[in-house]
Amino acid sequence: MKVGFVGLGIMGSAMAANLLKAGFSVSVWNRSVDKCAPLVELGATVAASPRAAAESSDIVIAMMATPAAVQSVRDGSEGIVAGLSAGKGYLDMSTVDGETSVKSAMLAHEKGALFLEAPVAGSRKPAEDATLVIMAAGDRVLYDSSLPLLEKMGRKILFLGETGNAARMKLANNLVMCGMLTALSEGIALAAGSGLDSAQFLEVLDSGAVSNPMFRMKGALIAANTEFPVAFPLKHMQKDLRLALQLAEEVGQPLFATATINELYKTALAQGLGDEDFAAVSRVIRK
């Protein structure tokens, strides 16, 4: 199976590398060409455009940061859709709104191609370790044929039905993750500010019902107020909060805590923390 991979950011580069290590033939494209070099060393070829990546592959995968970025590589004379034809597959693993995925599916179907949205839960390390949780929705035939690819990138793969369901599931997932990280940051700040030992506070959390991998990964770094390795940029997490609130508005669901947390993330962006890991939001909370 020939695979095209468009978008080689923190996540995409690791995911494409896993496909190459698994023996797939992969052509890659990225706006900054220098990011292709490590993958070329693993055996990838470089496509001249997103269209070329689609034309040369059986399945083309996109992993972009925002809906606007998806549109920029999807549309136009050199976009992915222009390179699709009957029987090909278009697999978008970006985190976007459901409407963007539905539009991608419509455009792919107009070319006789199949479409699958497949956003992921996980950040840099799970992407590198191929332990992502993959939420897929769209054409079941493409899901079945792309499983050999998905299994080399994730440890848990779910098929959620019609296009748009996976996008909505991912936004709900990230909403919860943001809330947890915010609560952790506030708990650490309160414990330290009232004279408690932060390490003991984290030990208490890890011994009880709220114990989880993210707290273990981020807690000590937040307590130390140190630099955070960028696993998930804060600006992308705020984008996901914005999309979740947009979805909530559409369906008439109040999101009281999420609306407040979004304001916190917007403050972090205004303070220049957008390119740092989303745990850097703790610096806005810290007194």
Dihedral, 9, 261, 255, 178 alpha carbons, nearest 10? 40
Q: Which residues contact 149 (CB under 8 A, 6 or more apart)?
A: 1, 3, 19, 24, 59, 61, 91
Determine if residue 43 is left, alpha or beta; phi over 0 gives left, psi from -120 to 50 gives alpha, anything else beta.
left
Where b means 16+ CB within 10 Å and e means fewer, 261-282 reads bbebbeebbeeebbebbbbbbb
Structure tokens belonging to residue 277: 């890991």
- 240: closest CA among 67, 24, 82? 67
Catalytic annotation, pick one of 88, 103, 170, 218: 170
Q: What letter represents residue 232's amino acid? A: F
In whole angstroms, what is the distance from residue 134 CA to residue 42 CA?
24
* Pairing mode of beta strands 25-29, 45-46: parallel
- 175: closest CA among 261, 282, 254, 236? 261
Annotation says 266 is catalytic: no
The residue ranges of DSSP E strands in 10-110, in sequence order, are: 25-29, 45-46, 59-62, 89-92
Provide the annotated active-site residues. 170
